[in-house]
Structure 1
Amino acid sequence: MAEAAVAEQQAAERKGSAAPLGRFAAPPRWVVDTLWVWPMLLTLALGIRGSWRPQLWRDELASWSAAERSTGELLGMLHHVDAVSGAYYLLLHFWIGWFGDSATSMRLPSALAMAGAAAFVVLIARKQFGSAWTGLVAGLLFAVVPSVSGFAQQVRGYAFVVLFVAAGTWALLRALERPTWLRWLSYAACVAMAGLFHMISLVFLLPHAVVVALRWWPTRDRRLLFGFPAAVLAGVLPLVPLVLLGRRQVGRQISWITTPDLTSFQPFWNGVFGDPLVGGIFLAMAVMPLAWSGNRRRAVEIGMIAALPIAAVYLVSQGKTSYFMDRYLLFTVPAWCVVAAAAITALRPRVWMALVFLLGTGYLGMETQEHLRVSTSHEYSDERGAARAIAAGYQPGDGILPVRGDEAWMMMDLALDYYLPDDVQPKDVFVAKSAIDRNDLFATECPDPAACLGDTRRIWMVTYASDDKDDPYESLSPAQTALLKSEFTPVEVTKVRRMTVTLLQRTP
């Protein structure tokens, strides 16, 4: 069934017009050649929609903090931390210089990258299965996956990883079709860019190598035997300095990720697709092509590109360092969409079955899609509300005390810095050395709070609160708590979601 459908569609596309597609005639060639535009536009529209609502969460704040520095300050920081994100930070640095640092503006590059990935999903499916219809369905499936919209609305580099891995897969298929040096060069460029934006993504080279071996075996074509390794070497070699630097920083970057076990797969899978119901649909559709006799080999090739990176990262993560995070393997989603589309478009009646699956997937993910666009979807605490409270009562000369200590990783200081108006600049009273001066993302707290405090008369103390924790001094150091309680009096307390803003005034 699948092989007949593919042959039928390929013949129609060669003619440019009139073979059946379900009950419909095949479209003209120019329509077929531009089908990638529609999934791309849909992905972009969903990526932009509501992107201004969610508050920035700590990883996005880290991106903003790095990107808003001067080029020299940014490069200095990358020598100490986050070198693996350096390419994205540099891109965002120049983007902010041109278009500003509003949430929508900073998230737009990710939306554009994810839209580009959607175009490559269409091209991969068409190239692999010889069907423009399969390509269109794959691209539309990709557009409605909740995690695609979610990461299209994040000030992080993961959308670019999805883009370059998808582009690399398409470039590989083209090189396997006609292995010229120019096509291998384009593949090498995709490998380099994917690794530059996230080194863990290079695990996609494993299934690519398997696919190359499967294609080489029947023909023994030396152009594949030598072309693929040469392209990989050309793509990976420029990344060696980044790999060495990243290895030195790995303890600070991902030491918090726990070693996975079999129970980790369910939350991981749900995270890859952004919704458990949508993830379940893709899992079911991914195994359907295994029952075919005609197009099974091509489906298995794409299935390996989707599944082998997950298995490889799981196994590697059993060692000293774990890399098993859903967003690190988001780049597998395009391949899952291609396999699912191959399954859907093999069913009859073809058009109506595709509509059922597309609309069903979109409907099941609708609640998650709406949740992605609310204020709390990225960050539960209301740093924006806390900043508004400070701005409303601010006086020149005021100090500010964002909680750090064990909660420094929440990056409250960056959040307040981002949301406070430009004309509200309270002094961070307990900072001895700023993050920029340290070439880091975190400031150094003053060992002698009294000396740093000086003669500051008023302090805005901002702390996290919860049902079982409402003491504003609880997260401060003993020295800071003793000083503030002895010399200051709370004169105003403002509660916002999961946060407390306390205005302290020096006791006469």
Structure 2
Amino acid sequence: MKLQRDIELGEPFYRQQMEETQRSSLLSHGLWIHALWFVPVLALAAIARFYGLTQTAIWCDEGSSLLMSQYSPALTWFHSAHDVHPPLYYLLLHAWMSLFGDGIFSIRAMSALPGVATVGLAFWLMRLVATPRAAVLGGILLALMPITVRYSQEVRMYSLMGLWLMGATIALVYWVRNPNHQRYLAIYALLMTASFYTHYFTCLCVLAHWFYLLMLRCKSDDKLKLITRPAWWVANLAIVALYAPWIPSLVGQLTHLDQLRVGGDVGWIPPVTLGSLPSAIWQFMTLKDGTDVWLPLYVLMPLMIAAAAAVVFLRDRSHFRFNTLLVSYTFLPVLVIFAVSFVTPLLVERYLMFAAIGLPLVLAVAIDQLERRFRVLAIGLLVAVLGLEMDGLRNNYSVDADQFDVLVNYVNQNYVAGDRIVVSDLFWYFGYVYYNKTGAEPLLYTPSLPDGGSGRPNAYGFGTLVDESADKIYVDRLQVLPKGTGRVWLVSGSYPPDDFRSIPNDWTKEKELKVGDTEVRLYSIH
């Protein structure tokens, strides 16, 4: 009875003793298979992330990743300094494509594999901080988490960022448990640095880690006042030092925010409202904002999750308060960005995917705790979460057959050497470049702005990927196109108003194909 009471109070020595006793008991009874739960969990994660990996066409952001990664490492560093994201993902993608090619399965596998590995790390983290049952449950829920599946299937940096930060959080847990072992802080510093070189929102995870250590400091045990230890400060200074080579580029990006805003790379995020926070939770769970569901349900689901997280946070009386770490990692970044977005809109769910990774883990702890006293309520919560995830996966895998690659392949098949191809916008341009097999360089339509100013991209944001070819690819007016074969392909969105403001009167439409929300038209020039 005393041992059980000490465990409930979170005494680490007795907790470790009990876990070792349980492991020995499992082995002695021939139930070693329980130690292999991570195998089906990882298999489930892999199936969810590799299923349908190639069924959606490359879109604008993915196309920009591919163009950025085609540069040499030195030029990738230069161009990413003119973009809105750091360079590490692009450098790794460059190396990946040199080894495995740029086929759609290959390039997306570079996101799917870190996504699977992150589930494995999350399972590891849960085995360190929670019960075995909660670890298995958290692993399953994360394997099926729609937003993590969705962005493990995209040629962008979000999956890689989640991998770095989950690994860094594990290193932090090991250091908290063994503060005299500085190697854990060294690993932490390296992983956090890698994440900073991957995405700027890493700073939000830093806030969560510092908040956790600050909460730990509030305990009476002087050994837990880790936030004041010199080793912790040295580790964070090491992160700054390792990141120092990129800081001038970051300052340059901040200096040129106006140019980034003109190109649409900054300033496109819509303003937040009070409903943006519950909508973000709906996006995490179902990949939809929830505004089309019954209003009481729209409010109830986020409240249910918030209540579960609050219970986990407030009932955390354990020695190391690891449940507090899980809740902080998950919710603090979201709440900070939500608050900041009332001043400068920054709330983009995919940017917060790393925080969403923690949501299934927190829910798993809540379900595990509820089951001990309120079994029916725990089962109901589990069924509700799984139901939401199944709906989200259905949304992820339900893809219209009319994809952009169908349109580009139509041009590829009907192209005649000497034809001109003009794309109406950078949004379509990058994807078109990926699928283009004609050997001709697509042109970019850059009409004057309504105020008479130039409509050409500048050298920042997406514009950095095409600005060097401005003289070759920019088309300010369709009338100036040389006749060539006498045929011009116009690629644009299919909804009014027409992206091509003025098509010359002496052009005759020969063919037209609409695919989803895009269209291509073939004109003959007289």
TM-score where L is the length of structure 1? 0.83
Unaligned runs of 5+ in 2: 291-297, 447-455
Change (3 A) 1:348 1:446: closer
| Aligned-pair identity (%) | 19
- 1:111 equivalent in structure 2: 112
| Alpha-carbon distance in structure 1 between the residues aligned to 2:117 and 2:373 | 26
| Alpha-carbon distance in structure 2 between the residues aligned to 1:88 and 1:99 | 16
Question: Which residues of 2 match residues 96-495 of structure 1 at below 5 A?
Answer: 96-129=97-130, 131-179=131-179, 180-217=181-218, 218-221=220-223, 224=227, 225-249=229-253, 251=257, 252=260, 253-275=265-287, 282-290=305-313, 292=315, 295=318, 297-319=321-343, 321-348=344-371, 360-376=384-400, 382-404=403-425, 408=426, 410=427, 412-421=428-437, 424-428=438-442, 439-441=464-466, 444=470, 445-447=474-476, 450-453=479-482, 455-466=484-495, 469=496, 474-478=498-502, 481=503, 484-486=504-506, 488-495=507-514
Deviation of 1:42 after TM superposition, in Å, equals 1.9
Question: Which residues of 2 match residues 60-99 of structure 1 at below 5 A?
Answer: 60-82=62-84, 84-99=85-100
Change (3 A) 1:48 1:9: farther
Matched-pair contact (CA < 8 Å) for 1:168–1:187: yes
Deviation of 1:45 after TM superposition, in Å, equals 2.0
Change (3 A) 1:291 1:214: closer
TM-score where L is the length of structure 2? 0.80
| Alpha-carbon distance in structure 2 between the residues aligned to 1:439 and 1:352 | 57
Counting matched residue pairs gives 478
- Aligned-partner residue type, residue 415 of structure 2: Y
2:151 counterpart SS class: helix
Change (3 A) 1:169 1:291: closer
Q: What CA deviation, in whole Å up to 9, does each residue of 1:395-415 have, x standing for no partner?
A: 1111111113xxx3x2x2222
Deviation of 1:381 after TM superposition, in Å, equals 7.0
2:491 counterpart SS class: strand
My pick for the range that moved more, 325-334 or 66-75, is 66-75
Change (3 A) 1:92 1:368: same
Question: Is 1:503 equivalent to 2:487 in the alignment?
Answer: no
Unaligned runs of 5+ in 1: none
Change (3 A) 1:346 1:462: same
- 1:15 equivalent in structure 2: 21
- Aligned-partner residue type, residue 344 of structure 1: I
Deviation of 1:108 after TM superposition, in Å, equals 0.9
2:87 counterpart SS class: helix
My pick for the range that moved more, 430-439 or 38-47, is 430-439
Change (3 A) 1:106 1:242: same
| Alpha-carbon distance in structure 2 between the residues aligned to 1:69 and 1:395 | 29
- Aligned-partner residue type, residue 336 of structure 2: A
Change (3 A) 1:26 1:6: farther
Matched-pair contact (CA < 8 Å) for 2:483–2:525: no
My pick for the range that moved more, 394-403 or 235-244, is 235-244
Q: What CA deviation, in whole Å up to 9, does each residue of 1:227-255 have, x standing for no partner?
A: 22211121233224434423433532332
Matched-pair contact (CA < 8 Å) for 2:147–2:286: yes
